[in-house]
Structure 1
């Protein structure tokens, strides 16, 4: 991407990805900063897009933006968003444990500095509650009608691609500031035929028929960690598209089930899993001694990948041959991803599949509620852990 930026040449695909982030709700300033492009240029592209006049170099005459480069761009935007949420958390310490009215008053005071939506999410209050407080000068009534609950349920149901059943829906509604009981949520969803999707089984892609060295199983199905970046697990899955197979390698931190690295390519060679590992390493900077657990696939057993682990001072661990239960956390992750992204979906191109998968991974890390984490997201779980360590140190 650096060569493209130095020459000032932006492909149409790069412009469209930048515009998509703005249309998704990010500010022009934050997107421009995260992608390293002039704010004025991005503003012009958005206006041209709205007028249907967006032009650009063809992929033949310009250097194309690869899927990995798009991932890096999205990662920069994600870091900018995390920094903003961190700053909001620091500034709002005085009202974090206060009631809704105090939080609404703080948001009112700071609304010129940060987006209202982001502040509401960090403070665990709803946007609708804040605007209701603005109009009336007090927090809304605690009693919520069935119809209002139904509106929220249907909106969340669409947002999560029909993935949530009533237990997660209940916790999501509570996170929106709605005081409602579990049984009430279950009955409303049942009455209106709103159901969560059920998991399917998918074909295994592991090639363990090779003569390469195999690492011992250091995890032994103990899929818990006391702190971030102690145990990672990795695997490969495939995505069908009309352009051919697209392969996804992911790395998950077992502490909070956060996806810390990933790579998408039209092949499943060693480069695929190595790039996912390098992304995780660059993002997290783990201490020496981290365990990386995988199956016995030829990509993970390859000399190139094992040399990379040794260079990063990471210990290799591998499951038993043909035993998916030895790497069940990432198998569960694949089931959730394919349930959300592939069920009833046909991708016309690798690019369309890449955009959909990257959006879902961002949703998974930042928003999706995990029952094993107490119905909060991986990012929120880790953020609370760091906050508790800060209090202990203080």
Structure 2
């Protein structure tokens, strides 16, 4: 069971079929039925792929991607944002974060049970109120970010709008890496069952991420120290 637990924590998206194949590859004779029974006994639930977060609306204006070839040299030069789904016992919660690309500092984050433009706009405004304005703000082409309520905040504050190319998650690679880190270092390990526990858990994690977690890309400094 210890070996099975280690692999589950590493690949919580494996169902009993893939877990059975993995165990057999390691030399253990464990069929699908037994793998399913062991996972049920341990109360392990497979983390399934969440719905898409990027849903574009053709009528909304799209902005060009401004980060290609850009040397990011100082804080508040470029901020980036994205939304991801956090799996819960029943359904999902949405997590939005805004980060400073030069320092990897998580400027703000917010959770919601709906993926609305209003929610994203409020998160953006709160971040500006607390940290000032960046030169460039990068997003994907999701309808939340192309909406007037969101882009108007950027335009009013003279912030250049940058948007990833359609279907190019690599254009927002730093936020994608943040999501992977948050999920594997916190969410998948904690298996949150309520919105309150999720909020409190993420609050502690992002404090650790900013203040204590060393980043190789920052020469093993912390985002807080660099920001």
TM-score (normalizing by structure 2) = 0.74
Out of 79, 82, 86, the residue aligned to residue 235 of structure 1 is 82
Alignment partner of 1:275 out of 89, 108, 122? 122
Q: Pick one of 165, 173, 198 that aligns with 1:328.
A: 173
Q: Following the alignment from structure 1 to structure 2, what is the Cα–Cα distance between the partners of residues 347 and 221?
A: 40
Q: Is the 8 A contact 1:253 1:259 kept in 2?
A: yes
Matched residue count:
182
CA displacement at 1:233 relative to structure 2: 0.5
1: CA distance between counterparts of 2:190 and 2:164? 32
Range with greater deviation from structure 2 (342-351 or 225-234)? 342-351
Maintained 8 Å contact 1:235/1:295: yes
Alignment of 1:207 with 2:55, yes or no, is yes
Residue by residue over 1:315-352, the C-alpha shift from the partner in whole angstroms, topping out at 9 and shown as x without a partner, is 11001000111110000000000111222432221111
Per-residue CA distance 1:208-230 (angstroms, 9 max, x = gap): 253311011111264x5222111
- Among 84, 90, 107, the alignment partner of 1:260 is 107
CA drift of 1:207 comes to 1.0
Stretches of structure 2 that go unaligned for 5 or more consecutive residues are: 1-8, 11-46
When you count helix as a share of all residues, which structure comes out higher?
A: 1
Unaligned runs of 5+ in 1: 1-161, 164-199, 383-394
1: CA distance between counterparts of 2:49 and 2:185? Answer: 14
Q: What CA distance in whole angstroms lies between the structure 2 residues aligned with 1:221 and 1:357?
A: 33
Change (3 A) 1:334 1:323: same
What secondary structure, in the 3-state scheme, does the structure 2 residue paired with 1:213 have? coil
What is the CA distance between 1:277 and its match in structure 2?
1.1
**Counterpart Cα distance in 2 of 1:250 and 1:275:** 12
Residue 182 of structure 2 aligns to a residue whose secondary structure is helix
| Residue in 2 that maps onto 1:220 | 68
Taking a change above 3 Å as real, the CA distance of residues 321 and 303 of structure 1, as seen in their structure-2 partners, is: same
Query: Per the alignment, in what secondary structure is the counterpart of residue 61 of structure 2?
Result: coil
User: Does structure 2 retain, via aligned residues, the 8 Å contact 1:225–1:255?
Assistant: yes
Counterpart secondary structure, 1:343: helix
CA distance in 1, matches of 2:153, 2:172: 21
CA apart distance, 1:302: 0.5
Q: Given the alignment of the two structures, is residue 293 of structure 1 paired with residue 138 of structure 2, yes or no?
A: yes
Mapped to 1, the partners of 2:193 and 2:93 lie a distance apart of 12
Q: Deviations over 1:58-111 (max 9, x none)?
A: xxxxxxxxxxxxxxxxxxxxxxxxxxxxxxxxxxxxxxxxxxxxxxxxxxxxxx
Q: Which has the higher contact order (CA 8 A, sep 6+)?
A: 2
**Which of the numbers 349, 352, 362 marks the counterpart of 2:207?**
362
Q: Is 1:346 aligned to 2:194, yes or no?
A: no
Partner of 1:251: 98
Q: Helix, strand or coil for the counterpart of 1:277?
A: helix
The answer to whether the Cα contact below 8 Å between 1:249 and 1:263 also exists between their aligned partners in 2 is: yes
1:307 aligns with 2:155: no
User: CA contact under 8 A between 1:243 and 1:349: conserved in structure 2?
Assistant: no
Equivalences for residues 1-394 of structure 1 within 5 A: 203=50, 204-220=52-68, 222=70, 224-242=71-89, 244-286=91-133, 290-382=135-227
